[in-house]
Amino acid sequence: MPQGFNTTAVQTYGDGLRRTRSHSLPIDRSVTYEAASADEHRRLFWDKETTFYQRFGHPTTAAAGAKVAQLEGAESGLVFGSGMGAIATSLLTVLRGGDHVVAHIGIFDQTKKFLEGPLVGLGVTVTFVDARDAAAVEGALRPETRLLYVDSPSNPLLHVIDIGTLADVARPRKIDLFVDSTFASPFLQQPLALGATLALHSATKFLGGHADVMCGAVAGGAALIDRIRAMQILVGTILDPQGAWLLLRGIKTLGLRVERQSASALGIARYLTRNTAVAEVRYPWLEGGAEEQLARRQMRGGGGVVTFRLAGGRAAAAAFLDRLRLIAIATSLGGVESVAELPYDLDFEPDASSTEEADRQRGFVRLSVGLEELDDLLGDLSQALA
């Protein structure tokens, strides 16, 4: 019988069986497992059992991967020691020397560095385009194009990409479409249902949700996940069982958290548009935004991140952060506590042709909205902006 997202998220097993067993999935700490015989040991290896050796698979991490797959409506899922572990392993799986990638200009900066660095060194070529323009994507394709790669919403400017339209571009050409859906989480957006080949997450963020575990996740077709798993075994980008258990614990409240975070973030975005110190507000569901209608069709909420630019540039943005009292200055996002950062002080390079334009971009603040009361968050923002 079909069931709702939160029902799926909270269930430990979801198999409908009634029997005596742990209500909370136990953490299996073992790295290696005994076999009853030499033949059984051989079978454990060749059948890819999770009770052979931890790098080859593990009961707790397998359960976490299966849960992510359930939430994404995927055949299979896999978890990693970090979001970049998930991204790098997946890219190494599908790309070979001579292949071409078309990627959105606004993808995560370290994903961009991986594409431009190690992969280019292996003979892969990359073209960056504004993937919000499907014609630009189509115009960048070559006979050797093997992958379209986008983040939606993107980090930090929250570009929303029309995943279904890009899937229509990729599918007839047998090109994979990878979507980093970290900022949406499976609660707000399911890229596979929109036609993507693979959904990727920095599960450290909304999936884990408590800023206490670093992990990544992918979900997709069983054949592709099997290939990614084989690469994971080779490069060792595995997740520790304790981390997998923390991820499973966080997922139980994913829908409730993101629903609340999205509602508060929309309220904050609306407030910021009325403040004269703020020159620009970016939020997928903000009324009148350039991509609002697409975001409302593609996502069930705007997400928990608001990005806004202060009129006074980098100096004003830094002064604003220094005046915050409730909201912490910290990186990452998606946790239960609100944090803010200046993204163009950190990973991201301004896309600017002048010093003035660079300073304008350095006035952006990325705010990850937590579970605090909205009035308390608005009060802190108000006193800091004043």
pLDDT tens column, 167-179? 999 999 999 999 9
Q: What share of the chain in percent tops pLDDT 90? A: 90
Of the residues 194, 218, 251, which one is the last residue of a structural domain? Answer: 251
Of the residues 228, 251, 274, which one is the last residue of a structural domain? Answer: 251
pLDDT at 67: 97
Query: What CA dihedral angle connects 338, 340, 346 and 348, to 10 degrees?
Result: 90
Residue type, 95: L
Check whether residue 134 and residue 214 sit in a common domain: yes
Strand partners of residue 19 = none
pLDDT at 353: 61
Check whether residue 214 and residue 328 sit in a common domain: no
Task: Look at the chain and report how many structural domains it folds into.
Answer: 2
Per-residue pLDDT band for 352 (boundaries 50, 70, 90) equals: low
Q: At 66, which CATH number? A: 3.40.640.10
Check whether residue 122 and residue 199 sit in a common domain: yes
Check whether residue 219 and residue 343 sit in a common domain: no
Check whether residue 246 and residue 258 sit in a common domain: no
Check whether residue 17 and residue 57 sit in a common domain: yes
Residue, of 233 and 349, whose pLDDT is higher: 233
Q: What share of the chain in percent tops pLDDT 70? A: 99
Per-residue pLDDT band for 302 (boundaries 50, 70, 90) equals: very high
Tokens of 63: 């359960």
Q: At 371, which CATH number? A: 3.90.1150.10
Residue type, 290: A
pLDDT at 21: 83
Other CB atoms within 10 Å distance of the CB of residue 120: 13
Compute the mean pLDDT over every residue in the chain, rounded to the nearest whole number: 95
pLDDT at 357: 72
Residue, of 117 and 349, whose pLDDT is higher: 117
Long-range contacts of the stretch 13-17 (C-beta < 8 A, 24+): 14/70
Of the residues 225, 251, 277, which one is the last residue of a structural domain? Answer: 251
State pLDDT tens for residues 66-100. Answer: 999 999 999 999 999 999 999 999 999 999 999 99
State pLDDT tens for residues 178-225. Answer: 999 999 999 999 999 999 999 999 999 999 999 999 999 999 999 999
Question: Coil, strand, or helix at residue 202?
Answer: coil
Whether a cis peptide bond, with omega within 30° of 0, leads into 26 is no
Question: For residue 76, what are the domain limits?
Answer: 5-251
pLDDT at 9: 93
Check whether residue 40 and residue 164 sit in a common domain: yes
Cα–Cα distance for residue pair 15/213, rounded to 1 Å: 27
Check whether residue 157 and residue 230 sit in a common domain: yes
Check whether residue 234 and residue 302 sit in a common domain: no
State the first-to-last Cα distance of the chain, in angstroms, to the nearest integer: 53
Placement of tokens 């929309």 in the chain: 266
CA distances from 272 to 63, 172, 258, 341, 381 (A): 41, 43, 20, 16, 9
pLDDT at 1: 54
pLDDT at 130: 97
Check whether residue 247 and residue 258 sit in a common domain: no
* DSSP state letters, 106-175: TS-HHHHHHIIIIIHHTT-EEEEE-TTSHHHHHHH--TTEEEEEEESS-TTT-----HHHHHHHHGGGT-
State pLDDT tens for residues 8-54. Answer: 999 888 777 788 888 888 899 999 999 999 999 999 999 999 999 99
CA 183 to chain centre: 5
**Which pTM value belongs to this model?**
0.95
**Listed residue (334, 9, 370, 307) closest to 187, CA to CA:** 9
83-94 and 222-235 helices, crossing angle to 10°: 110
Check whether residue 246 and residue 299 sit in a common domain: no
Other CB atoms within 10 Å distance of the CB of residue 21: 10
Check whether residue 45 and residue 148 sit in a common domain: yes
